[in-house]
A and B are shown apart, each in its own frame.
Chain A
Amino acid sequence: MSENAPLLQVRDLRTHFGTGPDAVRAVNGVDLSVDRGEVLGIVGESGCGKTVLALSILRLVDAPGRIVSGQVLFEGQDVLAMRPRALTALRGRDIAMIFQQPKASLDPVMRIGQQIAEPLRLRGGRTRAEAWREAVELLGAVGIPNPEEKARAYPHEISGGQAQRVMIATALALKPRLLIADEPTTALDVTVQAQILELLRERCRALGTALILVTHDIGVIAQMADRVAVMYAGRVVENAPVARILGDPAHPYTRGLMRSAPVMGAVQARLQEIPGGIPDLTRPLRGCAFAPRCDGRRQAGPARCDGQTPPPFIPAPGREARCWLQDGAPAAQPAPAGWS
């Protein structure tokens, strides 16, 4: 692999829940890529498939969900084609993940220090004592006071914010090159959220770890991301640098999202909601999934919006939008080669 190739490349990924005509197409043909050290934000409203996408990358989707097709290339190797042994070797060491509910994500009957030490010992080849010492150090590095004492605590004895710090320490113990953070601050107090985000950024920078940050919070995106993929109904509808997304969104859905969320530092008029609700994902989508709620549908041509799925157009280098309004710009079809 050349140094210029992306660290992670997702191609036409589809994850369905259930089978047959009633299957929920939670992830319905997603393409995206992450460069080394980059922070990619994945944003969208509840039920747009962003969590399922995150889980699919590490093949952590539980039944009845299953990955139907696509590729997840980590440094050119297809994660979806890996044998179990290669997959467990990849998890934690190359790609790690942290979750929305930090306290539930820790084993309730195991001491915190042991949970951090576990991957170090079982996979990093440390002895028990070395792993414990390193776990204490890692706890200190994520800002837990009295790490030696806290290492002996059980998860029910610490707060949610501390639990997420522990999760970060655990996930980064083996210095992975990519960390997937699924709504890492959603379950936390507002005051703690900013600290956790800052910690995430600082740790990832220190280790050179790329970050996929999944969130429904535009504010978090604005604060953290280099680039943003906007998801709607199981697809990425727009993918662009964060400044473009915030300042000059190309997709009507992104525009709607911006108008409906307060963004720190951005000058905004009244917050506006997007009319309508997300489409039924058990039905095959004809045309653009957002068309029924879209204020640009008339302008782009209702027949086309309702009937044909827009390809990813490239309105400017490094930007893509699946919207007929961008027709005229070159289209990346069928599968985009380079996304960044």
Chain B
Amino acid sequence: MSRYVLRRLLMALPVVIGILLVTFMIQAVIPTDAVSAMYEGQTTEEEAAEAIAAMRERYGLDQPWYIQFTRYAGNVLHGDFGESIRLRRPVSEEIGYRFINTLQLTGAALLIGILVGVPMGILSAAKKDTWLDLGAMTVGLLGISMPAFFFGLLLILVFAVWLQWIPVVPRGGAALLLPALTLGLIEAAPLSRIARSAMIELLRRDHIRAARSRGMGEMSVILRHALPGTLLAVMTVIGLQFGNLLGGAFIIEVIFGWRGIGELGVKAIQWRDFALTQAIILISAGAHIGANLVVDVLYAWIDPRVDYDT
């Protein structure tokens, strides 16, 4: 098992390097850099030019791109993501607490998504073609079709403005409530559809009929014999969602002023903050790779047919 995990990690390495390179290239190709963006049109032309030159030299932006890249890659390997030009402090410091914030939001959102979506999908499958199934799937379709930012604003309108249950700009734990609810319910929609279709497909299998023939009640058939297979299908989607959310739910974090990776990412791009943007993209990619790895390992754990050695 540990060898399987190790090999999966090694396989992820080229992907990480590739991502690093591509991000770097995009930055290198963009005509303006952070320094120009900061000083352009702010003081007199000479002062600006002087400041720009000084800053460029300080951050090595006057060097050719490949030297910049080599230096950058080397630093990353040593855990140094560089210094944010705009914030004037190490990227890792800023990213650190941002990541924890995003992790909180992601965890809460996924928990809501799973707790709402999976049971809803299973119930729909069990009660296929009834009004309950139809209702759940209509709500699910709504959830899939609704843009996250609109849903977020809707929740703010309903809970903060109309009902006034929470302040528009809440503090502490309450601040987590609305963004987590928004993301969670939006994620619940695809989860419920996947769970439903997987469960319906599984309930047609021969071994389900065999379990019924042994006098297993509908409840034990669903929970004991169809649920593991359903979870396998659902897990793939959860893994993808986890990667997505961890990489930053950009729009939702901005709307709710949640100081996470996504909100920082939007700022970093506006600032043309070179090191910061790259670190965020790297974290986003890392989150995807990590989530996929976890899903693969869970797969092997739930499904005995998965062979560790291949």
Contacts and interface: CB of A to CB of B under 8 A. Distances in A.
Interface in B204-219: 204-207, 209-218
A123 B207 contact: no
Interface residue tally of chain B, by bracket? 20 to 34
B303 interface: yes
Given A109-B303, A154-B305, A89 B215 contact: yes
Contact of B209 (A62, A92, A167): A62
A101 B207 CA distance: 9
A122 B220 contact: yes
Q: Which DSSP category, helix, strand, loop or mixed, fits chain B's interface? A: helix
Interface in A111-147: 118-119, 122-123
Contacts of A62: 204, 209
A91 B214 contact: yes
Contact of B224 (A90, A108, A118, A156): A118
Given A58-B213, A91-B213, A118-B214, 5 more contacts: A92-B213, A92-B216, A96-B213, A99-B213, A109-B304
A106 B207 CA distance: 5
Given A62-B204, A91-B215, A171-B214, A156 B209 contact: no
Contacts, number: 79
Contacts of B303: 108-109
Contacts of B225: 107, 110
Contacts of A119: 214-216
25 contacts: A55-B209, A60-B209, A60-B213, A88-B215, A91-B214, A92-B213, A92-B216, A96-B214, A97-B210, A99-B209, A105-B207, A106-B210, A107-B211, A108-B304, A109-B228, A109-B304, A109-B305, A110-B225, A118-B216, A119-B215, A119-B216, A123-B215, A156-B304, A167-B210, A171-B214
Interface residues of A, number: 33
A150 interface: no
B200 to A, nearest CB: 11
A118 B216 CA distance: 9
A99 B228 contact: no
A107 B207 contact: yes
State the 9 A-B residue pairs at the shortest beta-carbon distance, nearest first: A92-B215, A91-B215, A104-B206, A105-B210, A92-B214, A97-B213, A154-B304, A107-B207, A109-B228
A216 B302 CA distance: 39
Contacts of A109: 228-229, 302-305
Contacts of A173: 214
Contacts of B206: 99, 101, 104-105
A20 interface: no
Contacts of B204: 62
Interface of B: 204-207, 209-218, 220, 224-225, 228-229, 302-305
Nearest to B305: A156
Contact of B218 (A84, A96, A123): A84
A105 B215 CA distance: 14
A101 to B, nearest CB: 6
Nearest to B207: A107
A84 B229 CA distance: 25
Contacts of B214: 91-92, 96, 118-119, 170-171, 173-174
A118 B207 CA distance: 14
A106 B215 CA distance: 15
A96 B210 CA distance: 9
Nearest to B211: A107
A156 B224 CA distance: 18
A264 B17 CA distance: 70
B305 A88 contact: no
A186 B205 CA distance: 19
A162 to B, nearest CB: 16
Contacts of B212: 60, 91
A108 B305 contact: yes
A163 to B, nearest CB: 11
Given A109-B303, A154-B305, A156-B304, A88 B210 contact: no
